[in-house]
């Protein structure tokens, strides 16, 4: 079991764990023995920085977009002489300005009363209206032919007409048959094996039938009886009843009244609202644990620390005095830069060195 390295102890101080057990990795070697002063500076500077991180209340921001599926990153190739750490990537803080209304705008209203004067006016004591007069209808006499029985069609069936004829039907046609007989020459030649036949005609067999031939097919004869009409005299409306409009004039009276010369007036002055600008912090991404290649203790010298402190100071972080010592304030400034940049927090990793542009 290996003892915890310098960067591993720094990760322990940040995550709150008591120790980290590191299994030996094939193809790697333990880093050079850490300088006691550098390791104590790492351990003494990490914990206070974590203690000073106090969450600030912020206005709820829009929810982050759902993460898109990422392709699996290739496994890093670990070589001898390298140093690796497991570190936390914290959600990246994003600063924005929120303008809050601390006092709404208000309207100041000034009212000028109305001005009145006496006068006369006409008042309707009885409203005019309209009424209607009904005029009765007028009639006239009309003579019409009314159908009392409609036209009727009757159909009569005319039977079919036939003629009688005689028709001979052949029941069996005439035919020729061969009967055995004796012919010349065959009666004296019995040994020849010849048989003689004589042809005989059989007359046809016929029968005479009486048939009926259709002369005229069965048909329908149409007989029409004409319609029957009667003359009727009736009264029809010549002019329909109608309502004639009659107007009734209104009744008026004179009254003394106070007339409005100038109406009441109101003027207003709008006092603008008072606002206050507030700095709001929202976070992008989710916290996760990643493995990163770190700068080994043997490679951390005073020149690198000075360059680190200078770059952090130029970017607005507070690493303290540029003295080449990796102290508490320098580590706190580095962790603040890593957290703001979405990098692994707590160790001087190669990605942090590249992001700061340190050779």
- Chunked mean pLDDT (size 10), the chain, 359 residues: 39 38 35 35 35 39 44 69 86 84 85 85 86 90 88 88 86 84 63 72 87 86 88 89 89 84 86 86 83 87 90 90 88 90 88 87
Report d(CA 82, CA 292) in Å as an integer: 11
pLDDT at 138: 92
User: In this structure, are 123 and 94 located in the same domain?
Assistant: no
User: In this structure, are 259 and 325 located in the same domain?
Assistant: no
pLDDT at 136: 92
User: In this structure, are 38 and 96 located in the same domain?
Assistant: yes
From residue 140, give the alpha-carbon distance in Å to each of 230, 236, 237, 238, 239.
20, 6, 6, 6, 9
Question: Does 136 map to a domain?
Answer: no
Helical (H) or strand (E) element with 37: helix 36-52
User: In this structure, are 164 and 219 located in the same domain?
Assistant: yes
Report d(CA 291, CA 86) in Å as an integer: 4
pLDDT at 74: 66
Question: Does 325 map to a domain?
Answer: yes
User: In this structure, are 166 and 213 located in the same domain?
Assistant: yes
pLDDT at 215: 85
pLDDT at 332: 92
User: In this structure, are 96 and 163 located in the same domain?
Assistant: no
pLDDT at 193: 65
Question: Does 328 map to a domain?
Answer: yes
User: In this structure, are 94 and 11 located in the same domain?
Assistant: yes
- Give the number of domains in the chain: 3
User: In this structure, are 336 and 322 located in the same domain?
Assistant: yes
Question: Does 12 map to a domain?
Answer: yes
Question: Does 146 map to a domain?
Answer: no
User: In this structure, are 94 and 14 located in the same domain?
Assistant: yes
Instruction: Answer for the pair 346, 332: CB distance below 8 angstroms, yes or no.
Output: no
Helical (H) or strand (E) element with 87: strand 83-89
pLDDT at 314: 92
* Among candidate residues 270, 300, 332, the one where a domain is terminated: 270
pLDDT at 189: 54
Question: Does 159 map to a domain?
Answer: yes
Question: Does 320 map to a domain?
Answer: yes
* Among candidate residues 235, 270, 305, the one where a domain is terminated: 270
User: In this structure, are 171 and 214 located in the same domain?
Assistant: yes
Sequence-ordered list of residues with C-beta below 8 angstroms from that of 333, at least 6 positions apart, any chain: 309, 312, 317, 318, 319, 320
DSSP tag of 71: P
Q: Which domain holds residue 206?
A: 152-225
3-class secondary structure, 19: coil
Question: Does 307 map to a domain?
Answer: yes
User: In this structure, are 181 and 32 located in the same domain?
Assistant: no
User: In this structure, are 284 and 313 located in the same domain?
Assistant: yes
pLDDT at 298: 86
Sequence-ordered list of residues with C-beta below 8 angstroms from that of 85, at least 6 positions apart, any chain: 5, 7, 8, 10, 11, 291, 292, 294, 344, 346, 347, 349
DSSP tag of 297: G
């Amino acid at each position: 079991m290996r003892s915890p390295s310098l960067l591993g102890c720094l990760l322990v101080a940040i995550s709150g764990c008591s120790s980290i057990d590191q299994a030996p990795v094939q193809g790697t070697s333990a880093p050079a023995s850490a300088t006691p002063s550098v390791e104590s500076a790492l351990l003494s500077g990490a914990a206070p920085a974590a203690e000073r991180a106090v969450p600030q209340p912020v206005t709820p921001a829009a929810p982050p977009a759902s993460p898109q599926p990422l392709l699996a990153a290739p496994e890093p190739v670990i070589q001898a002489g390298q140093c690796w750490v497991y570190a936390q990537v914290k959600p990246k803080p994003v600063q924005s300005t929120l303008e809050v209304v601390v006092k709404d705008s208000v309207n100041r209203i000034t009212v000028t009363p109305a001005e009145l004067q006496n006068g006369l006016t006409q008042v309707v004591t009885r409203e005019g209206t309209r009424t209607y007069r009904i005029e009765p209808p007028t009639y006239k006499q009309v003579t019409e032919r009314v159908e009392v029985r409609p036209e009727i069609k009757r159909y009569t069936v005319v039977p079919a007409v036939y003629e009688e004829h005689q028709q001979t039907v052949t029941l069996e046609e005439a035919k020729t048959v061969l009967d055995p007989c004796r012919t010349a020459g065959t009666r004296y030649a019995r040994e020849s094996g010849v048989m003689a036949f004589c042809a005989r005609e059989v007359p046809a067999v016929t029968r005479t039938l009486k048939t009926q031939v259709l002369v005229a097919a069965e048909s329908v004869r149409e007989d029409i009886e004409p319609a029957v009409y009667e003359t009727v005299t009736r009264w029809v409306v010549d002019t329909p009843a109608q309502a004639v409009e009659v107007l009734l004039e209104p009744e008026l009276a004179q009254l003394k009244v106070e007339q409005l010369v100038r109406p009441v007036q109101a003027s207003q002055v709008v006092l603008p609202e008072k606002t206050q600008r507030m700095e709001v912090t929202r976070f992008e991404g989710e916290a996760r644990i990643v493995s990163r290649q770190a700068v080994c203790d043997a490679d951390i010298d005073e020149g690198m620390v000075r360059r680190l402190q200078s770059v952090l100071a130029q970017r607005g972080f507070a690493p303290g005095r540029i003295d080449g010592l990796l102290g508490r304030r320098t580590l706190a400034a580095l962790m603040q830069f890593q957290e703001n940049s979405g990098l692994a927090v707590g160790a001087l990793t190669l990605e942090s060195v590249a992001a700061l542009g340190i050779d």
